[in-house]
Structure 1
Amino acid sequence: MRSAINTIRSLQLLTGISLLTMSACSSNDKKGSQASADTAILVTVSQPATDGQEGLNVSGRIEAGQTANISTRIMGYITRLNVKVGDPVSKGQLLVTIGNDDILAKRAQADAMIAEAEAGYSSAQKDYERFNNLYKQQSASAKELDNITLQYNSAKSRLDAAKQMRNEINATLSYTNLVAPFSGTVTQKLMDAGSMASPGMPILTIEQSGSYQVSAVVPENSISQVSQGAEVTVSVSAANKVIKGTVTQINQSSQFTGGQYLIKVRIPDSEKQGLLSGMYANILIPVKQSPQNTAGNDQVMVPLSCIEYKDQLTGLYTIGNNNTALLRWVRLGKTVGSQVEVLSGLAANEQFITSADGRLFNGATVKIK
């Protein structure tokens, strides 16, 4: 009898312990679920941008709207060089002076020849007027008048020749004082004072202040897709800028560019802040596709800020089945401004995380805002 009572009490005790254990587990599960929901990282998601408009990508360099190489037509030593790289210059400002003592001596000779020719011309003119009057009075023969007229014309021609010689020397003398053809900035100084200047050899390079343009080349199999006046997207990574430009010039010949056609893209003056001549730029030229070729050719574009880099791999975060962050490795293509093309690893209808309120990692619990 006592043994049966002990058995019943033992069963009751075990039942109570089991109930307490199940209640505690249930409570812990509820607390764990609540804690997991409370610590979820808030994220913003988006879908890739697709564009049925194909783009032609070419590379180029920013340059000034007008550039001039300052050189001379004479040979001589540079006696003065009044500017240095980076100096602003105004139109007509004296930049370089070249030694001109020999030219000044030639001009002095020309002045002496003019003085001599003027004296001979004045004497011949008086003789011509005198014999012309005598001929009218029939006191001189026609032969005498012809001889005097010939002497007069010869003296006049010698005077004209001497004056033209001085004009030539003055023109040559002007090449010893080189001035700025327009207002701008000195971007290169290729010689210093004391160097020998040679005809056609640049001494300075000046770029015009004002607008910028991008010079690029387009392959011959794509030039037919570029039209003058087309609006293009110019990406300058060095300045972290994306600019809307306009095609202003298309070279019609590739004879000296190896099958590449030169184009010029104008950059608006309002966008020139932060740009410097010589910076590299990528140009995206929109190319409309026909409707039958549009399907299947859509580009999958995502923001560059979403890309994660690890060694040689690139990826972005997507959302898994259990509302967890999943790092998806992708293969990237061309970059257009702040967007980059995803060649593989992400479908056009898949969502990806664009921003998060905390640090993301594989398996992190996330919650869409």
Structure 2
Amino acid sequence: MVRLVAAALVIFGMSGCTADPPPVAAAPAERPRPVMASAPSASAPRAIVVTGPVTVEEQLDVVALRSGVIVAMPVDVDSEVEKDQVMARLDARQLEADRATAEHKAESVDADLKNWESELQVKEADLRRAEAMHKAGISTQEAYDHSIYEVTASKYEVERQRGDELSAKDNVRSIDLELEKTQIVAPFRGVVSQRYVRQGQYVTVGEKLFRVVGRSSLEVRFTLPAEDARLLRRGDVVTVSATADFSESTPASVTHLSPVIDPGSGTIEVVATVKDRLPGLIPGTIASIRIAGAR
């Protein structure tokens, strides 16, 4: 047994004295693991960009309130107008003649009224005299009753004439209102953006004549999906631009949020008032609106 152990030690020593150790295989290089992008946090704010038309609160199509021929048109497109400034006139000669006739009729009725009021005063004086004579036993009861009847009839006639006078004056006022309708006036201060008719044209009731755009602040109208309704409240500020890249922008304050959701589209309507006017941000254009983030 001792010999076997000694032989093993001799063999082990001889192997340890070799010049070159046996080669060791290199471990394979570890491949880089792909880095997964982290998902955004559910609470992180997000921005939404929508589009909507630019409008103004004071924007109105002025229509004809009566039929007639346009005989004058002192304004045109791009003309600045003041409130109640005349923009066009219709032919009013027939109405002017009718008014003169109605005014003469009113004056005649007024004269008749004064005549009957004077007649009533005479009848009342006769009644007082007849009453005194009846009390003195000078006149009969029939004569006294006749005087009472005369006074009563005169009072009714005076009331009738007063009604006729009011009717005649109302007729004059009615014609005056029709005369006012022959003058098409600006509803507010602004600029004429469109003209639909020309001088000499016959227009009918309700026909559009001009479009007037006021000087009030610009507004943007847009819609949001129902699930994003919580993003905005009245008074919040959004960013508005005439271009999609928001190279130039202006803040706008939310002034209106629809209280109901449109069942057809599942959206709500939002209106915001623009603070500053930008080049290209004019009524009728489509603006880009950016909502900063969720609450």
* TM-score of the two chains, using structure 1 as the length reference: 0.59
Distance 1:166 1:252, change over 3 A: farther
Indicate whether 1:108 and 2:100 are aligned.
Answer: yes
Report the CA distance shift for 1:219/1:204 in structure 2 as closer, same or farther (over 3 A): farther
Match of 1:21 in 2: none
Which is richer in strand? 1
In the other structure, the counterpart of 2:283 is 277
CA distance in 2, matches of 1:160, 1:182: 34
Count of equivalent residues = 238
1:182 and 1:232 map into 2 onto residues whose CA distance is 29
Measure, in 1, the Cα distance between the counterparts of 2:47 and 2:109. 73
Q: What SS does structure 1 have at the residue aligned with 2:269?
A: strand
Residues 184 and 254 of structure 1: is their aligned pair in 2 closer, same or farther, counting only changes over 3 Å?
A: farther
Output the amino acid matched with 1:266: T
After superposition, residues 314-329 of structure 1 pair within 5 angstroms as: none
Structure 1: tracts of 5 or more residues without a match: 1-49, 290-369
Amino acid aligned to 2:128: K
Shift of 1:259: 5.8
| Corresponding residue for residue 352 of structure 1 | none
TM score, norm. by length of structure 2: 0.72
RMSD of aligned Cα (Å): 2.6
**1:82 corresponding residue in structure 2:** 74
Partner of 2:178: 172
Q: Deviations over 1:7-59 (max 9, x none)?
A: xxxxxxxxxxxxxxxxxxxxxxxxxxxxxxxxxxxxxxxxxxx9922234332
User: Between the two proteins, what is the percent identity of the paired residues?
Assistant: 20
1:307 alignment partner in structure 2? none
Cα distance, 1:265–1:110 mapped onto 2, change above 3 Å: same
User: Please, which moves more after superposition, 100-109 or 73-82?
Assistant: 100-109
Unaligned runs of 5+ in 2: 1-40, 132-143
AA matched with 2:277:
K
Conserved 8 A contact 2:242-2:278: no
Distance 1:214 1:153, change over 3 A: same
Cα deviation 1:140-162 (Å, max 9, x = unaligned): 63222111100000001001100
Segment of structure 1 superposing worse, 158-167 or 279-288: 279-288
Compute the displacement of 1:60 (Å): 1.1
CA–CA separation in structure 2 for the residues paired with 1:106 and 1:158: 18
Decide which of 53, 76, 85 is 1:61's aligned counterpart.
53
Q: Secondary structure at the match of 2:47?
A: strand
Distance 1:262 1:79, change over 3 A: farther
1:4 corresponds in structure 2 to none
- Asked if the contact 2:58/2:216 (under 8 Å) is kept, the reply is no
Equivalence for 2:255: 248
